[in-house]
Chains A and B, each alone.
Chain A
């Protein structure tokens, strides 16, 4: 797609964009143009009002019998899963070493491949284990401001481990919270991009490890935000770490 398309040509895409009728291959070019063109931005705003009003043209249709109960049954079916989530939402206040040791055992193959054949018997050095974990193949690599980085790996039991370096300790009354995202997540703020909490954690000596039995399968991105103590149901701040 040529980037030097004329203003007129791009303005013609504003109305299709407002009504969601721009094909995927032209999305980026029109988004970027609207961001940089006041005229098109104000046209979009004006057309958007009409598009929003179109929702009012819909005739209500009575719900099929049993609809509410079917939705509520799904909500009920999710409850045990939420209870697990709530448990993992507790602060990870355990000391770093046992967490690293557990992660290392689950990643024994990776650790051995990294040259730490004696990982099982020599758990004395959290630094060495974290270095080994660090070299293992990651499902997600997260980056942030400055030197802060993190990786997420799948463990041999199908769960996952998150390990970060370079994050400062969270301020009083704040926690770091880890999020897994699925769905269309090019724009992570989009409501369609589903963000699921994988728990809150603390940083000790610049390192943090989160262990969870939950699988990374199906997730497309991961992020870390700073939230109020105990975590939030959905992210409320700009991520300090984000995967590509």
Chain B
């Protein structure tokens, strides 16, 4: 039986396995977006409880369990950030992140090969600073394009264009690497 089938059969051991395999990336995404360990744990718990309540929501034709769960964690995190209006609180640290071109490490973690992560990070690093800012604010910051415009001090149309150009460039870079 697949993990999803076992979850649907209410096998609690399957949920433990899912947490062991995907917990790190789910928590990583939550922590990155909400920027608070306690809230991030709340999001991560909620993500796995959703998986337990609705394993059928995962569609294996649309991608891996890892990217599905990270997507769920990201959506829940963005909802939380928007709800709690914790934007102000994390503005400074996010600005620092926009600047950084993180390097680093780790071992297998359920989302895919480390190569994938390095590829995506390389691709992000190859965007223009303006494109990267817009993409990072929208994706990891949960900002709407209007909020991106305000934060970057540009017209709304410019924020939309930077998002579009950045994402299309990302697509191009990742397609040519794989």
Contacts and interface: CB of A to CB of B under 8 A. Distances in A.
A62 B167 contact: no
B144 A49 contact: no
Interface string A185-210: 00000011011000000000000000
A64 B37 contact: yes
Interface string B6-46: 00100010011001100111011101100001000100110
A54 B24 CA distance: 16
A73 to B, nearest CB: 10
B75 A52 contact: no
Interface residues of A, number: 43
Given A55-B71, A67-B45, A60 B25 contact: yes
Given A53-B120, A67-B19, A46 B168 contact: yes
B160 interface: yes
A16 B163 contact: yes
A68 B139 contact: no
A20 interface: yes
B124 A57 contact: yes
Interface string A60-100: 11111001101110110000000000000000000000000
A47 interface: yes
Interface residues of B, number: 69
A205 to B, nearest CB: 33
Contacts of B99: none
B106 A19 contact: no
A204 B44 CA distance: 45
Per CB-CB distance, the 7 closest pairs between chain A and chain B, nearest first, are: A60-B24, A15-B164, A191-B57, A50-B171, A60-B109, A21-B138, A50-B170
21 contacts: A12-B161, A12-B164, A13-B160, A16-B164, A19-B163, A19-B167, A20-B138, A21-B143, A23-B145, A23-B146, A49-B171, A50-B174, A53-B174, A54-B139, A58-B25, A58-B111, A59-B102, A60-B24, A63-B19, A67-B41, A194-B54
Given A16-B163, A50-B170, 20 more contacts: A15-B164, A16-B138, A19-B139, A21-B138, A21-B144, A22-B144, A49-B171, A49-B175, A52-B71, A53-B120, A54-B124, A55-B29, A60-B110, A61-B27, A67-B23, A67-B27, A67-B41, A67-B45, A68-B20, A74-B49
